[in-house]
Structure 1
Amino acid sequence: MRQLTAIIVGAGARGRFVYGSYAKKYPEQFKIVAVAEPNEERRSLAATEHGLSNDRLFSSWEEVLSNHRIADIAVISTQDRMHYEPTLKALALGYDVLLEKPMSPFPEEVIAMARASQTYNRLLTVSHVLRYTPFWSKIKETIASGEIGRIVSIQLSENVGYYHMAHSFVRGNWNKAEETSPMILQKSCHDMDILSWLIDRRCLNVNSYGSLLHFRPENAPSGSTYRCTDGCAVERECPYSARRIYEEDSSHEWSRFITNELTPAGIEQALLEGPFGRCVYRCDNNVVDHQVVNMEFEGGTTASFTMSGFTHDISRTVQIMGTLGEIRGYMEKNEIKLYPFGKEVVEVPLAVEEGGHGGGDEGLVREFLKEVRRENSGGGQGLTSAEASVQSHLMAFAAERSRLEGGHSVSITSINDQSICSVGS
């Protein structure tokens, strides 16, 4: 197995904790040879963790992609609105690219990136990690076996989790649609992708409703303050308390995303000075905290999707109804049950993998590396190629337009005059 080299463009949470961690865990497969990151502290951490010299540390994507190719792979894990230009440049230089989702908040950029991958004959894989999990792979396999017949309808729920909602979409980096992406695209393009993959037909029409219902100034409890650290009278009772989520988080599951100084003093300083100490009712957020989407696919198959920030856990549940049977699944419990009509229920055996997104994070990188090796020998485009991702992005764009227009039905082809069918033409 030839070790592949990579540059990381954006060394934040995903760049460091997913791709950087994979390189440290499997050095025989994957080596990071350069990092582009504007934050000096993150660059320093990358240098230490991957043994990089100063001439392999860059403060911008323009610098690391300025001249010739210096690695096999470019991992683009910048913020949503900073994907387009470095991706096109990396493809033009001859890199195979692993791109964080969503591809872009703009339909024309999504399609242009997919076309560039074809033009330069390079891999452009999007991090739709759910396809790489044992859970969703087994569901896809069960559907393909014909045991439930033809899919009639799917119900999919994404339970964001109240603490994840508060961290990422109220206080955090993805709280304003105009700076990143709408919630349905940023968070739930995974789910649009899964529905597209399972049904395996073109989505035709979408309608959607949703709003920012709760995390608003008028809902702030009496006695609350601008920061949870400002002597808030209700902080101890508030489920969204920053002290509860970060200071009392002994595992550092969430505090590691707000500071690199994982000590009581370091976390306290982050809450006193940074955005994550703010009251959830006094932030500058505007993305929705709940949304529903209904979809019609070719052949009459329908799907409904619910995203909610008001759940006790972070989980996904699915119900797939076919002409001969039904599948019900609970991803976080690794539980899949098959109900063939007129027969006994079957517990579908499922391998369990460790790691983020139910093993999908490692699965994504592992399969991408395999594709790069195959591609260099004339292989295919991979499970989550840009071409495959275009439809799910267009579904999310249609859902957001429908939501903003009061739930009116929006056709996929109206989002852009070049639909998924024309991407490969």
Structure 2
Amino acid sequence: MGQISSQSVRMTSPVCVIVVGAGSRGEIYSHFASIHPGRLKVVGVADPRKFARTKLQQQHKIADENVFEDWHSIVEREKFADAVLICTPDRLHKEPAVAFAKKGYHILLEKPMATTAEDCTAIVEACTQSGVMLSVGHVLRYDPVIHKIKELLDAGVIGDVIHIQHFEPVGFYHFAHSFVRGNWRNEKESSFALLAKSCHDIDLIHHWAGARRCVKVSSFGSVSHFGKQNKPTGAADRCLDCSIEKNCAYSACKIYLDRVKQGHTGWPVSVICPSSLPDIESVTEALRTGPYGRCVYECDNDVCSNQVVNLEFEGGLTAALSMVAFTEDICKRKTTIYGSKGELSYDGHGIRVFDFLTQRSTKHTAHSNAPGHFGMSGHGGADYHLIDAFVSAVASNNPSLIRSGPEETLLSHLLVFEAERSRLEGSVVYCADISQS
């Protein structure tokens, strides 16, 4: 199936949405309304942070009566939109998702669905019982080139799939930003790294495996390097006060201040100033007083910096995921899929298929029609295609346009929880309780 275009669904009025959580993800998804005002209209926002909700209100000219500090106030009102975009912190997904589903709103829910298997299941049950659509923010499913991989596998170009080797390079400064200093550094405050970062990747592996059920999973991983024991002699607790920060690859001055001085105010700089737009003064203040200015060796991080997951599916198909923090590439996944008739490899740009019979290689690619300025998040056009598909699905009442719907996404999330259980218990987990719907 090709990418859904803005012309694929005819409608007489735009889909109306409420944004719950006006941070980076909420702002990115709602930007679709600025590009296609005839297809999407943002009519409400809820966020406890005044700056974030006011910024979104001004961007979309939201009426004052539809601006809220707390999403509970929206649920108490009569339904006044078609759908809701839930982009709250990971641990605050389940309650609003269930409440809005029961109120009859279609839901785009940022990944991960929730931080426990029970909460993920409860969300799916609420959406199913209420008859509302659920799209989970697995943006990689909507990347045109990655989607092409699934089309090629389904077409049988490499025969029966035997093994999937998938690598996720998180990126050295991305990991320091998000998983050492940032919102996803501590499991009690957010979730474990495999769920927060790599549920995308387990979802892709599960998707590529097709109808075959996963029967066994094992995982190993740890927190490497980012700890007090590796703090250099003479290093200060904050980078602004540190006499040796120039010799540190993870210096907050390099990651944030240097970027602002060069005129770069997008990610990751854009997320460290919660109450103002980023400039030299606000970023300096954020590094002086906020979490992003801390020495990476003096943080409360406890999530894995490197982890492997091994999976066995019915029929003998095996798969291996490696997630590593310490890489030059930032989230540029690489995949090789080995089949009975050939080999498919993806290098983060294009696809190469080698045919065993002819011993010839064929290159494949796919093009995105997403506006260039929509790639604010590092996912490129995939964010655009995800919200495009969701809007089209709601407008036409056609959930088949959603590639990351409730049942399959729940199954892949359950695999993530089983993989983490394996890591913690040091044992192979048999997935007898995870059944295909």
Gaps of 5+ in 1: none
Work out whether 1:272 is the aligned partner of 2:288: yes
Work out whether 1:215 is the aligned partner of 2:226: yes
Provide the rounded CA distance (Å) in 1 between the counterparts of 2:277 and 2:391. Answer: 32
1:305 to 321, 325, 334: 321
Provide the rounded CA distance (Å) in 2 between the counterparts of 1:219 and 1:39. Answer: 36
Gaps of 5+ in 2: 1-10
1:255 to 266, 269, 275: 269
Matches within 5 A, 1:84-103: 84-103=94-113
2:217 to 206, 220, 224: 206
Secondary structure of 2:381 counterpart: helix
Matches within 5 A, 1:237-256: 237-249=247-259, 250=262, 251-252=264-265, 253-256=267-270
Question: Percent identity over the alignment?
Answer: 40
Worse-superposed segment, 60-69 or 31-40: 60-69
Secondary structure of 1:391 counterpart: helix
Worse-superposed segment, 379-388 or 288-297: 379-388
Cα offset, 1:420, TM superposition: 4.2
Secondary structure of 2:389 counterpart: helix
Secondary structure of 2:37 counterpart: coil
Matches within 5 A, 1:271-290: 271-290=287-306
Cα offset, 1:412, TM superposition: 2.5
Cα offset, 1:349, TM superposition: 3.1
Q: Which runs of 4+ in 1 moved over 6 A?
A: none
Work out whether 1:369 is the aligned partner of 2:386: no
Matches within 5 A, 1:4-403: 4-16=15-27, 18-200=28-210, 201-230=212-241, 232-249=242-259, 250=262, 251-252=264-265, 253-259=267-273, 260-314=276-330, 315-331=332-348, 334-342=349-357, 343-352=359-368, 354=372, 355=375, 356-375=378-397, 380=400, 382-403=402-423
Cα offset, 1:192, TM superposition: 0.6
TM-score scaled by structure 2? 0.91
Deviation per CA, 1:49-81, whole angstroms, max 9, x where unpaired? Answer: 111232111011111222321100111100111
Provide the rounded CA distance (Å) in 2 between the counterparts of 1:351 and 1:380. Answer: 22
Amino acid of the structure 2 residue aligned with 1:209? F
Amino acid of the structure 1 residue aligned with 2:417? F
Provide the rounded CA distance (Å) in 1 between the counterparts of 2:364 and 2:113. Answer: 33
Provide the rounded CA distance (Å) in 1 between the counterparts of 2:21 and 2:172. Answer: 27
Amino acid of the structure 2 residue aligned with 1:116? A
Deviation per CA, 1:174-211, whole angstroms, max 9, x where unpaired? Answer: 11111211100111000011001111122111100000
Provide the rounded CA distance (Å) in 2 between the counterparts of 1:391 and 1:170. Answer: 29
Provide the rounded CA distance (Å) in 1 between the counterparts of 2:290 and 2:188. Answer: 21
> CA 1:381/1:339 → structure 2, altered by over 3 Å: closer, same or farther?
closer
What is the aligned partner in structure 2 of residue 405 from structure 1? 425
Provide the rounded CA distance (Å) in 2 between the counterparts of 1:349 and 1:110. Answer: 34
Worse-superposed segment, 353-362 or 107-116: 353-362
Provide the rounded CA distance (Å) in 2 between the counterparts of 1:374 and 1:50. Answer: 23
Cα offset, 1:358, TM superposition: 3.5
Provide the rounded CA distance (Å) in 2 between the counterparts of 1:261 and 1:361. Answer: 23
Worse-superposed segment, 90-99 or 108-117: 108-117
Secondary structure of 2:248 counterpart: coil
Provide the rounded CA distance (Å) in 2 between the counterparts of 1:179 and 1:262. Answer: 25
What is the aligned partner in structure 1 of residue 7 from structure 2? none
Q: Are the equivalent residues in 2 in contact too, given 1:394–1:412 (CA < 8 A)? A: no
Provide the rounded CA distance (Å) in 1 between the counterparts of 2:138 and 2:158. Answer: 25
Secondary structure of 1:210 counterpart: strand
Worse-superposed segment, 195-204 or 355-364: 355-364
Cα offset, 1:43, TM superposition: 1.5
Provide the rounded CA distance (Å) in 2 between the counterparts of 1:221 and 1:326. Answer: 45
Worse-superposed segment, 336-345 or 154-163: 336-345
Secondary structure of 1:358 counterpart: coil
Q: Are the equivalent residues in 2 in contact too, given 1:124–1:385 (CA < 8 A)? A: yes
Q: Are the equivalent residues in 2 in contact too, given 1:91–1:97 (CA < 8 A)? A: yes
Provide the rounded CA distance (Å) in 1 between the counterparts of 2:356 and 2:123. Answer: 44
Cα offset, 1:395, TM superposition: 1.0
Provide the rounded CA distance (Å) in 1 between the counterparts of 2:431 and 2:88. Answer: 27
Provide the rounded CA distance (Å) in 2 between the counterparts of 1:316 and 1:358. Answer: 13
Q: Are the equivalent residues in 2 in contact too, given 1:390–1:420 (CA < 8 A)? A: no
Cα offset, 1:380, TM superposition: 3.8
Secondary structure of 2:246 counterpart: coil
TM-score scaled by structure 1? 0.94
Cα offset, 1:381, TM superposition: 7.1
Please tell me the root mean square deviation across aligned C-alpha atoms, in Å.
1.4
Amino acid of the structure 2 residue aligned with 1:339? F
